[in-house]
Structure 1
Amino acid sequence: MRTMADVARHAGVSVATVSHVLNATRPVRPATRDAVLRAIDELGYIHNTLARSLVTSRTHSVGLAVSAISNPYFTEILQGVEAEALATGYGLLIADPHDDPGHELSVVRMLHERRVDGVIIAPSAEPSALLAYLDRADIPAVFLDRLVDEAEEPAYDQVCADGVAPVRELVGHLAALGHRRIALVAGLAGLSTTTERVDGYRQGLDAAGLPFDPALLAHGHSASEGARHATERLLASPGRPTAVIAANNAMTIGALQALRDAELRIPEDVALVSFDDFEWADLFSPSLTAVRQPSRDLGGLALRLLLERLDTPGRPTRTVRLPCTLVHRTSCGCPPGAAGLPG
């Protein structure tokens, strides 16, 4: 195997200079840096990051634990984390906790055993065992998408999208279109995302002067099949809703299936809107009015916060919320090309 000394001789520089180029520990003149990189390429040298980690106690790798990696929302988050990791020279180990507290603890322990420098986690609805392990093992961590601590200065850094205002806006828009029986198919109980979207729903009803009817709030457990059954129950109730808000993209699919099975037209019979936009939402007929979350930005920001924590362990923790965008299409009942949102 080629060594750093071989690269230094080939490039006509010192071993220290090669180390500075590889580890970015000191500025190197562009011409010298190019010579080192050219020597690395010509010799086929591979940097021994394991040896470096033994010296620095850092592996320059991070763990990412998010459920439903196949979900387009989390896929985009993954892309954001991966792009930021690549730009900063970090490797990425990925695990799926399956929204199960026991499995969540197992995968985070597995990442820790592989000596990642820190972890980014979308926590389950019951993260108490996870939090105890992180605290006991003193693992730098950032919580992503779902909050675990609402304190002004939480125990860990957290990154999420605003879950209240967008749903409030959806309710207001549907009310302005004349809907008085607006249902919400909410996510898995115990998740902060579910709580915030229910809060936004109730605030929207209150702002529109509409009473809250518990019969119009159904839980789809954040999954397509659960949302299909929840929507079926809503449609079978005596006071059938005239509009349905699905609280994530998977549940939108389930709600859509239930409406199609009931042979109800969208939006003529029941309007359908979604919290979560996805790539093919405008290919539906009618196209789907949806809240778009800044998924890639959330992922990139989570990694930056983790690296800041690694560089400055004692700095104050913070929770960062990013705004969402309401993408106006036609499933809400507005005509194609309608400018802006009434209400």
Structure 2
Amino acid sequence: MIERVILMNQAFIPFESISYTKRFLTNCYEKQSLTQAKTLSYHTSYSFIYHLQQGRLYFQQASSSPIEIQPMLLFYGIVQMLKACVLTVDPYYPENSAILAHGVTTRKRKKQGYRFLDDEIKVQKNGLFLHSLSKMFHVKQMPSEKFKMNALMKQIADMHPLYSTMTNQEISLPITYRSQSFSISSTLLDDLHMTANRFGLFLEQQNQNRWFNRQVGIQSNKHSITIPLLFKPTLYQSPPWLTSINGDHYILRKREDFCPLPELSIHYLLLYNLSMICRYEAEWWGELHHNFEGEDLPYIKQFLSISNKKLPLLIEHYLRSKE
């Protein structure tokens, strides 16, 4: 844990220099052809630094805190980090008070027999969530207004071994990366009930970041399918490829499990709900950690452990892409 904190500190150390941060933000704004990029970076650099510092402090405290309060620390950590990331693409943030809202909501009172994995979160029209999606990842239209916790957790590749143990089913297939292509077992087409051509059309629909080389097209045989890439998807913008913290790639085996949201947004939604539960549903939250009933606790504990390690890495990868 200490080594991870040291590495996280090293990744963000350059941004403790105001001159470096100004150059970094100026470069970000010039790439967007914004006028007066240097002046804009002068106005945003200190806010950027302070958001990063606060985010790091929350993450560091979460790594050494009891699990019962980790959701709050991790959620406020990702909020601060996302605000810093937004400033790299939107120097005018926040333009109004509506954008300062979290942008999501959950059912306030949990019904009897409540199960976290079945709970839903609803996206609101205004707030940080949609604003960060639009500015950072160019997601203009949401695939849905509501998302189930179980569906969101499946978007995190590092959760899949636990799903395999708990359900005795493999929910994803590993992907082999070769030069400018992905190779996957041909059983994926059977799982998705698609032909190779239909799968190619499906990928074009998912192709928000223009990584799929449609001109070359998908090649298939009895054993595998090969998907040509224009470039290798990065950790922070991986859908429909799910990337583990070790850099391994996976793809879900059921069509209904696919979600086009980037992983940073997935963590944001899950942590928001968990932070609300541990603050306002103290009785359910306390019993969860002591009576061991149901299956929620293993998934929640595993997710918090992954989120604690992976969130700084996701933020680092995003910021590196701006250099």
Query: Do the two structures share a fold, i.e. TM-score over 0.5?
Result: no
Which structure's CA Rg is the greater one?
A: 1
Structure holding more strand per residue? 1
The structure whose RCO (Cα within 8 Å, separation 6+) is larger is 2
Q: TM-score, normalised by structure 2?
A: 0.24
